[in-house]
Structure 1
Amino acid sequence: MVRLSKNLKFMNDEKIFPIPKIKSKDFSKEKKDFSNWLKKINKKYPKKVNTPLLKDAFSLSLFAHRDQKRENGDNYISHPLAVAKIMTEEVYVDNETVCAALLHDVLEDTKITRSQINSYFGEPTSMLVNNVTKMTNIINESSTLREENLKKIFLLTFSDPRTLMIKISDRIHNLSTLDGIKEPKRIERIVRESSNFYSPLSSRFGLNNLKQSLDDQIFKILNQEEYDETYKTIKNIAPRKKRALSVVSKKIQNKIKKDFPKCEFKIKNRKKSIHSIWRKKIEQNLNFEEIRDIYAIRIIAKTKNDCYKILGSVHSQYEPLQGFFHDYIAAPKNNGYRSIHTVITTKIMPFIEVQIRTTEMNEICEWGEAAHWIYKKDAMNPSIEKNLNKMQKARVNFKFGIKKDETKGFVDELKNNFFQERIFVYTPKGDKISLPKNSTALDFAFAVHSELGSKTKKIKINGKIEKLHKKLKIGDEVEIIKNSKTSIKPNWIFKTITSQAKREIKNHLKKINKTMIEKSGKMKLNEIIKEKGLYHLHLTNRDNLKDSKIFNDLLIQDKNDLFYKIGVEAIDPEELLEKLLSEKHEKIKKGKIPTRKKDPTLNEKRFIFKKIKYKKISICEKTRPIPGDNIIGILKNQNLIIQRKLNQKLTEHIKVKWNKKEKYIYQSEIILTLLNRKGSLFEVLQTLKKLNINILNSVTEVKPIKPEVGYVKCMIEVENLSVLNNVLKNLRKAECVIEARRSVS
């Protein structure tokens, strides 16, 4: 029988009351486990643990789950305690998160309310518990909302990655206790979710410690024989390597103390996870003895300067192995990882990896983006603040309206950009480069350096000349043979998959010329029109380009686009003219005559200027000023022309300002440089449609470009310069748009 303390009002009152104490002997094992764990973390992380707070969190969790059992028969309280243990195995996160881990199931499974958690442990803890509960509920929703669920989980993780830390720890423990679940389909779903979603998500948020534990559990379930073999082999060679590592560690420790008596540091041995060892063995075709980083030495210093002092001490004692030194403190990785890596040779072990970093760097390495939330209350150094800003920007970019028709695109984006499996390849000097799976040799070149990528001539993979679009495999050594000048070719954009490479190629394509193809297409079309005697019908004039259903179906907006597609033989000019002729005859029969819109009349109310004599006021058709532009007035033949004030030198002009009280619609011409592919113009039109921008007659002007690029000029209606800038900003985000700008004249 479970006995409670006197105050039973706790469950029905949101105010602060003493947390009921469970006095039953049924929970003596869990209480003892909690007490031992508390002693362990206090010893391991001195001055960090708020013992009374964690005791309260455990007591509340025990009270809430007092009548519940796990599916394997264990008291339910054993689960939240195990989750908290997993989270604090390598690094102590913070008291808020550990409390939330102990309480992570109380909102979902018990009568405890969020307000009660908030009153005892504060808003941050109650928010974390609530977020974990939300994530659990989302996962348990109908499978028909699977893609929608992914989106919601992703946004929850962006709001505070510590939510994911708790959920991953929860998943690790659940995987270790699957023997209590009887339904095979449920087990299969849990493992599949863990492998396909939680593992890559934890990786991308930098939760390295948890990812290793999660992968080990998944590996054990999916491939029990390989797991047992790897575990057994490592267990056999571990004692010998551990003894050798312990000897070297002790010598390094004594040397540092001797060289720098005031230097504060900790030294410990790191063991690679079972899954990581097995994967390296398979991918690089090694035996276990050849894997040199199964064990490594990690030195945790107090300051960055101490890291370099310790490095000097280590290298003075043991010879460093050439080509294996990396200073990620001076030059951090793209994901913010900072540490010094070196490999030393000793008499008892030929290769030992040594990692040197500060406490802060170590916690960020283990907990990734979540570590930034741990440090946010304190004064943040610039690198952490920069990462926080990047995370906030990314969160905002993904936080758009949750609509079913948008969900598939969101999930596709996750698959392509976020969960994409990564591979590691090497430079001839041994530097490791991380790339998405299926990256090509060209992607590698641009990843090393944009200038190197742009000058790529040939590529060697593992000493053999290969094609530029050859897909890379894990462990490949890639060497770039470069030209003295930029040698980017238009078709390179189709031979790369990384955004960095495509961006550099797109920038180069802005300068490419395609005039010859347009001229060729124009000549072909004119020859057939002349041969058939169709000039008088004006089948390809500007009005017909705009109004013809045939041109609209072909997504042709101007003559440049038409000439180019004829030039590259994407359109048969004879077939096109036959269809246009039939369309023209139908219009004549139905009496359909296209009409043009007239420009609105101007008056002096739109502008502020000194009184002068003039007959008519008009806007300059070359500069086309809009509110927000600096403007001037030019008096010509007693007509006042309003134009943009550019850099031109004018001796006589009238000072003019916009009347901000008057609101009108103005025409503005924009120039777009597009990748010439199917759907590009449609994507542009869709962007303008979403912005509620009206498009007027498309304007044709010959521009120098090459086959892969098209130039489009079009007239749009906007209210002011701010609206125009917003339109250009959104157009630049479109994947097909290389450049979007306003016409200068």
Structure 2
Amino acid sequence: NMRTGDAWPEQKRRDKALETMEVYAPIAHRLGISNIKEELEDRSLHYLDPVGYETIRDLLNKHGDEFLHTVCHTIAKHLAENGIQKATIRHRVKSIYGIYRKMYMQNKDFEEIYDIYAVRIILENVSECYNALGLIHDMYHPLPNRFKDYISTPKPNGYQSLHTTVIGREAIPFEVQIRTWDMDRMAEYGIAAHWKYKAGITNGSSDKLDERLAWVRQLLESQRSSADATDLLSDIKSDLLPEEVFAFTPRGDVINLPAGATAIDFAYAIHSAVGNRMVGAKVNNRIVPIDHKVQTGEIIEIITGPENRGPSRDWLNIVKTSEAKNKIRNWFKKERREENIQEGREALERELRRNLMSMTDEQHETFMEALARRNHCNSVDEMYAAIGYGGLQISRMLPKLKEEYTKLKATEVKPVTVDIKRMHSTDGVVVEGIDNCPIKFAKCCSPLPGDEIIGFVTRGFGVSIHKKDCANVRESMRQGENADRWVNAYWADDAKENYKATLDLLCMDRANLLSDVALALGDMRVPIYSLTARSAEQGRARMSVTVGITNTEHLNSVVARLKKVKDVVSVNRN
């Protein structure tokens, strides 16, 4: 697809190139298919940064590879003289995107990149590889800290080779890669190198393929278990981090993890049973927290507890790899179904209360069944269980939740609600489910008829009525501690005529200002319960006036009239 990108519109080219760079090239890298990976990256870069691409291509054209032919001939002659007759020697130039990453992301000059040119030596067995390494270091001067042994410690995608960077008399550094034929096949074709051996002669090759395919299989299982495509993309990105760390078990087994992985990820990478029973970890014989971030070269020992011990739900927020998250969710899914159902039910009920969604028992049952179907669950309990073990996230269910609630409320019979209001009316306010209870209006927001209101059942003082958008209401709902004490409330048809509202006025200080404000209120026949004024800084004055208001529309007209008084800067409801 990327080879035909020149025919696409420019925006499509950029979108497809970005998708390829973020998903498909890293997958090719993870599967070890280097040729495809490099071609995908180069073609994507050509569309994403054409100027950078052309700059590097020009630099590569200027630096010819003639000297590489000479180097290859010299190395072949030296190896033959020292008993290594069957050596195949090739050379290659680093991919354009590989150079781009180092130049633009690591801020290096073209001359500072030491592996632009590489010589590859392919030999018959591993012992010849190490012998050839010694001979190369005899011929050329090795650069310090540039030797990597991927034969004894393979990369996560199965890549094996010896890498060393050397410099000769021409003063041009180049990389030498030394590997066997099997390693070369693996480097070129990744796990695909094993496919033709799948039906093969030994069980060993089949097992090796199954091991290399484990990540792909895990990815597909993750896709099936997730209801949201964004989860899959998130898992791919977290597992395909460009940097990886290598740590060791006490027995010397190498475990590779993405950078940032924790000791819990390490435990689950060993085996799900080890992760489920984990109670602590030692790094280099020193106790560390379980959220310790793994570093390359560490020897990590996982301390396990009894067999019936399981993971904590909090671990889902700590672990980095999708493998660990899936194993933790699967444990809760299998072992704690009743607990999951209870946990999911409580979490969903909290969310309903937080969004002020109330319904009768019959409506509740219908609502939950519809919501379960919308989330592809066979029953309401299955939906509760999925929420409990983390398979369904309430934050992602919220749009469906609100949509189903809107549908439910649209089918309600309105006259019934009116009758209930009249039956429960107290001081002009209906409190759902509570008849003739004492009512007081909260001073923090001073609700008036026309405001959307909600009630809070106090201890010993009846119900306190707040505006729904009151800051104290939002904070209490967010914390969720007293969620069961909030009740729905409405203004009744027989709401009393006068409510007190306090207005704060900011004015420019002048003579007769107070009398002008009082006259304006008098003209509107608004009762004044209190009126205070004081001087403020920068020649201004502040007033606080408490007046009798019938509803929010009345209040808005009073505010508009006061704003017309000369030198009144602003009027705000207290």
What's the TM-score once normalised by structure 1's chain length?
Answer: 0.36
Which structure dedicates a bigger proportion of its chain to strand? 2
Normalising by the residue count of structure 2, what TM-score does the alignment of the two structures yield?
0.46
